[in-house]
Amino acid sequence: MSSVPGPAPPWRNDLRAALTRSRVRFDVPLKPFTTLRVGGAADALVELESDDELARLFEVIARHDLPWTVLGKGSNLLVPDAGVRGVVLRLGRAYATVTPGAAIHTLHAGAAVPNAQFVERCRRDGLGGLEFLIAIPGSIGGAVAMNAGAHQGETADALVSVCYFQWGLGIATAPAGDFAFAYRSSQLRAPLGRIVLSAVFRLQPVDESTSRARITQFQTYRRETQPRDFPNCGSVFKNPAGDFAARLIERAGLKGRMLGGAQVSEKHANFIVNRGNATAADILELIALIRETLLRETGVTLELELQQLVGTRLAGSSGSHIVPGAVSAP
């Protein structure tokens, strides 16, 4: 005897009614949306297409006390095997444009713009300084929020201002200096309910051949030093002061170590790869092994760069608020 599904929870109907331009889906597997290709389903996945609908979405979230979080390009991100409760929101095509800024040598980029696309736009416009982003999978929103960087460069180096949404305050724009940017962190990552919508960058005039050479250099470095054969999330750990996480992990004899379907990359020890059937639990167990081993043998506590995608409620903290994802090269 087959069971008959019960009525949909009221919040699902309210989401559909409130968001007429945005795409709303329920019980969506998130594996295809992440570079690690692991994890369960989202109760709801919303792809937003306007600021008005962003505000209406949060009215529904507040009314039903729903957990929520943000998903960008899905890099530097681990989705739990049990999935994500509440609403996972993504910024759609309306937030994926690049336009000239008001001042000379500036560009305004939406948070959903892929890093590689932004770098190519800079090159075409004769602007340089952020070429390293070509080797960092992710989107501008994540690059800004986590201050993504590589090769002695950081996103905040060129950042002028950030436009963001915060429940209760609405949409605001503030100078980069307001967000306490540091190594792979900023107050945009703190659990304050902020969502990066766009950013303005001040870049350096550069001839196209020089910019192209830099881009090629960073692409070659990534290809030669980082795993490409298996799904991965990029750097798992932040580099400790004065050292490299990959060097410490390799020195501890953990390069190539496997647990379930997860493996410390044989090419770069600060990467964990999915050999095809890894679970989030496998990856977390391997992370714990690495951290415990290094703490015991070296006294170093490795800090995670990888983030777990979980929801948070507006009036509390059932989890960590994650902004659109990005990864960091060493």
What pLDDT does residue 313 have?
Answer: 82
Residues annotated as catalytic are 184, 235, 305
The CATH T-level fold of domain 11-93 is 3.30.43
Question: 306 and 146 in contact (C-beta within 8 Å)?
Answer: no
Question: 226 and 286 in contact (C-beta within 8 Å)?
Answer: no
Q: In Å, how far are 3, 138, 308 from 66, measured between CA atoms?
A: 27, 26, 18
Q: Is 100 helix (H, G, I), strand (E, B) or coil?
A: strand
Pairing of strands 84-91, 41-48: parallel
Radius of gyration of the chain (CA): 20
Please state, in angstroms and rounded to a whole number, the distance separating the CA atoms of residues 94 and 156: 24
Please state, in angstroms and rounded to a whole number, the distance separating the CA atoms of residues 98 and 111: 10
Please state, in angstroms and rounded to a whole number, the distance separating the CA atoms of residues 126 and 253: 45
* Residue in 328, 128, 114, 133 with CA at minimum distance from that of residue 219: 133
- pLDDT (tens, 9 = 90+) of the chain, 330 residues, equals 445 556 779 999 999 999 999 999 999 999 999 999 999 999 999 999 999 999 999 999 999 999 999 999 999 999 999 999 999 999 999 999 999 999 999 999 999 999 999 999 999 999 999 999 999 999 999 999 999 988 889 999 999 999 999 988 999 999 999 999 999 889 997 667 899 999 999 999 999 899 999 999 999 999 999 999 999 999 999 999 999 999 999 999 999 999 999 999 999 999 999 999 999 999 999 999 999 999 999 999 999 999 999 888 885 433 333 333 333 333
What pLDDT does residue 29 have?
Answer: 98
* pTM summary value: 0.88
Per-domain residue ranges of the chain: 11-93, 97-210, 236-304
Please state, in angstroms and rounded to a whole number, the distance separating the CA atoms of residues 40 and 82: 5
Range 236-304 has CATH code 3.90.78.10: yes
**Cα-to-chain-centroid distance, residue 12:** 26
What pLDDT does residue 330 have?
Answer: 31
Q: In Å, how far are 65, 70, 234 from 167, measured between CA atoms?
A: 13, 14, 31
What pLDDT does residue 328 have?
Answer: 32
Please state, in angstroms and rounded to a whole number, the distance separating the CA atoms of residues 27 and 304: 28
Please state, in angstroms and rounded to a whole number, the distance separating the CA atoms of residues 238 and 160: 25
What kind of architecture, by CATH, is found in domain 97-210?
2-Layer Sandwich (3.30)
Question: 129 and 184 in contact (C-beta within 8 Å)?
Answer: no
Q: Return the sign of the alpha-carbon dihedral for residues 47, 49, 52, 53.
A: negative
The 10 Å CB-count burial string (b at 16+, else e) for 169-186 is: eeeeeeebeebebeebbb
Question: What is the identity of the amino acid at 145?
Answer: A
**Cα-to-chain-centroid distance, residue 329:** 14
Which residues have C-beta within 8 Å of that of residue 134, sequence separation ≥ 6? 115, 116, 119, 215, 218, 219
Please state, in angstroms and rounded to a whole number, the distance separating the CA atoms of residues 72 and 77: 9
